[in-house]
Amino acid sequence: MNLFYSKIAGLALIAFLSGCTTPNIETSQYLNSPAFSNDVANTAVLGKWSRSCALCHITGEAGAPVVGDQEEWQRRLAQGEQAILKNVLEGYNAMPALGYCMSCEVSDFRAMIAYMAGTNP
């Protein structure tokens, strides 16, 4: 784990801690079956993430959902895995098709979404 990843992990932790709100029924139901929960972001996936997605998803560039902002990610995940994957593959508003990662497989995107959403930390 190099310094860059430590910083990302730190940001994600801060966002996680400050995103702690009173749970409601919908949230706790959702947490019983998190989206992309079988998709683990290993070092290779995180490398691709840091070279492409990080550009926008750390700062929230152009309204990109910020890594670790669980409330925002849960809102987006509510549309379902297939719909959100389609938006990544085809692009969606200011989100570029494939997120500028031409070498990414669908399995990479799944793990990246789980990583950003914190559904499989």
Residues in contact with ligand HEC, shown as a per-residue x/- string from 16 to 55 under the rule CB under 6 A: ------------------------------------xx-x
Q: How far is the CB of 57 from ligand HEC (least distance, A)?
A: 6
- Which residue, 10 or 47, has its beta carbon nearer to ligand HEC? 47
Residues 6+ apart with CB under 8 A from 66: 15, 57, 58, 59, 60, 72
65 binds ligand HEC (CB under 6 A): yes
| CB-based closest residue to ligand HEC | 99
Taking the CB of residue 61, how many other CB atoms lie within 10 A of it?
11
Q: What's at 71, amino acid-wise? A: E
Q: What's at 9, amino acid-wise? A: A
CA distance 86 to 92: 9
Helix, strand, or coil (residue 88):
helix
Q: How far is the CB of 116 from ligand HEC (least distance, A)?
A: 7
User: Which residues of the shown chain bind ligand HEC in the complex (CB under 6 A)?
Assistant: 52-53, 55-57, 61-65, 76, 84, 87-88, 92-96, 99-101, 104, 109, 112-113
